[in-house]
Amino acid sequence: MAAVQASSLLLPLNSQRRIIVGASTNAPRVKIRPLSFPKFPSTRDLSDELFKRSQYKIPTTTVHNLDNRSLVSGINGSPLDPVLISKLCAVLEAVADRIEMHENVGVQRDNWNHLMLTSINGMTLTASTMAALAAAAAGGDSSSLALKIASVSLYLGATFLLMIVNKIQPSQLGEEQRNAARLFKQLHRQIESRLKLGVVSLDDVSEAMENVLALDKAYPLPLLGSMLEKFPSVVEPATWWPLRKHERGNETKIGNVNRKTGNGWNRKLEEEMRGIVGTLRRKDMDEYLRLSKKALKLNKMLAISGPLLTTLAALGSGFVGTSQGGSWAAMVAIVAGVLSTLVNTIEHGGQVGMVFEMYRNNAGYFKLMEEILEANINEEDVSRRENGDVLELKVALQLGRSLSELKQLATSSSSSTNGDDRSHAEEFASKIF
């Protein structure tokens, strides 16, 4: 081993350099390529790419040239006018804007309800405390007079605020905006589905615009002029859909035994849908209208009692410390102030107005289902109806039932109507609300 090391040391320097150079030439070669920079698309290419990636993309159609208003081929091969698609996209953008507006306004009006609730309760409790202090320091001095004036001022201010809040009902306004946002989202999804399927007609555009205007009328944003009546004399289900001309007029043709079948419809399905309509009308809609009337009656009583109690408390605070009935006046001021705080908490903290609006909208939900089913049953031309199997599935989902449970409901409804079975008379159609 020592001999080998010695021989390696005796090698000439040039031979060592050749060995090193030879070893270095066996290393892998690194190829240096020219740098490549990304190619930026032109404005035309960028616009085309954005159009392709847009959420309004219709994957089943082929757009040739929108500038020349050429036709678009739909999924069924029928020609479609791109102008109609543009109009429906414009309606879709308006619906998206309505959704954002109603959500923002709904949050704002919920904040109003919480702010007014805490502010009015704070004012009435502070006024009651000042009335008690004024009664304890009764003697005609300046401190007692200042407490009386402050108590009366706070009670009058609370009365004024209560009258405004009870008139506009912020909790009910918030519920209206939440319902409007939900219904506009539903309309938004329906329009998107039509655009994705590539099935667009002029009737679809007109129907979408009518739905938008009907929702604007049913759930207005302004407070002055177009605000919904918060204490109506007659309680009716909420209506947020446009009226259709063919909803009435064919009621006498329902019992016709020679009705045509097809498009998923037969006589048995018609009888089932007719039984469901009867149950919705007799049970679900009537129940929620009854609850709406009770909530409205309670809300009226609380809305009147609050300002009356604060006014009475203000009068009692004004007579605190007088020679005649000063102690009774202080008691009236304190007790009425505390009771007004309790009434305000029940009305606006419990959101009785929101409960009334919720019941009214539930009744409207069942009324809409009833009108849709009646419109399909009354339509003589079976091809113009919605497919029977699809409609049956929709009704089952909207009522929270399976298809077998829906058939059982229709059977029990027809039996109870004929007087054969009274045990199912109390069953409601919906399992959701």
Number of other residues whose CB lies within 10 A of the CB of residue 319 = 16
Query: Is residue 370 situated within a structural domain?
Result: yes
Q: Does pTM top 0.95 for this prediction?
A: no
Number of other residues whose CB lies within 10 A of the CB of residue 283 = 18
Query: Is residue 333 situated within a structural domain?
Result: yes
Query: Is residue 365 situated within a structural domain?
Result: yes
The count of domains in the chain is: 1
Query: Is residue 431 situated within a structural domain?
Result: no
Closest to 361 (Cα-Cα) out of 228, 259, 198: 228
Which amino acid would we find at residue 46?
A: L
Q: Which domain holds residue 152?
A: 83-225+263-418
Query: Is residue 119 situated within a structural domain?
Result: yes
Rounded CA separation 135/108 (Å): 40
Q: What SS3 class is residue 323?
A: coil
Predicted confidence at residue 211, as pLDDT, reads 94
Q: What's CA 101's distance to the chain center, in Å?
A: 12
Closest to 182 (Cα-Cα) out of 240, 236, 133, 242: 240
Query: Is residue 396 situated within a structural domain?
Result: yes
Query: Is residue 68 situated within a structural domain?
Result: no
DSSP state letters, 30-86: PP-PPP-PPPPPPHHHHHHHHHHTSTT--TT-B---TTTT--EE-TTS-EE-HHHHH
Please enumerate in sequence order all residues whose Cβ is within 8 A of that of 126, keeping only pairs 6 or more positions apart, or say none.
Answer: 154
Predicted confidence at residue 25, as pLDDT, reads 45
Tens-level pLDDT at each residue, the chain (433 residues): 444 444 444 444 444 444 444 444 444 454 545 544 445 444 445 444 444 444 444 333 333 333 333 334 444 445 567 888 889 999 999 999 999 999 999 999 999 999 999 999 999 999 999 998 888 876 556 778 888 899 999 999 999 999 999 999 999 999 999 999 999 999 999 999 888 887 788 888 999 999 999 999 999 998 887 889 999 999 999 999 987 654 444 443 444 434 557 888 888 899 899 999 999 998 999 999 999 999 999 999 999 999 999 999 999 988 887 766 567 888 999 999 999 999 999 999 999 999 999 999 999 999 999 999 999 998 888 888 889 899 999 999 999 999 999 988 888 877 666 655 444 455 888 888 7
Q: Cα-flanking dihedrals φ and ψ of residue 73, to 5°?
A: -90, 120
The C-alpha R_g of the chain, in whole angstroms, comes to 37
Query: Is residue 322 situated within a structural domain?
Result: yes
Burial class of residue 267 (count of CB atoms within 10 Å of its CB; 0-12, 13-18, 19+): exposed
Number of other residues whose CB lies within 10 A of the CB of residue 33 = 5
DSSP state letters, 233-255: SS------S---GGGSS-GGGTT
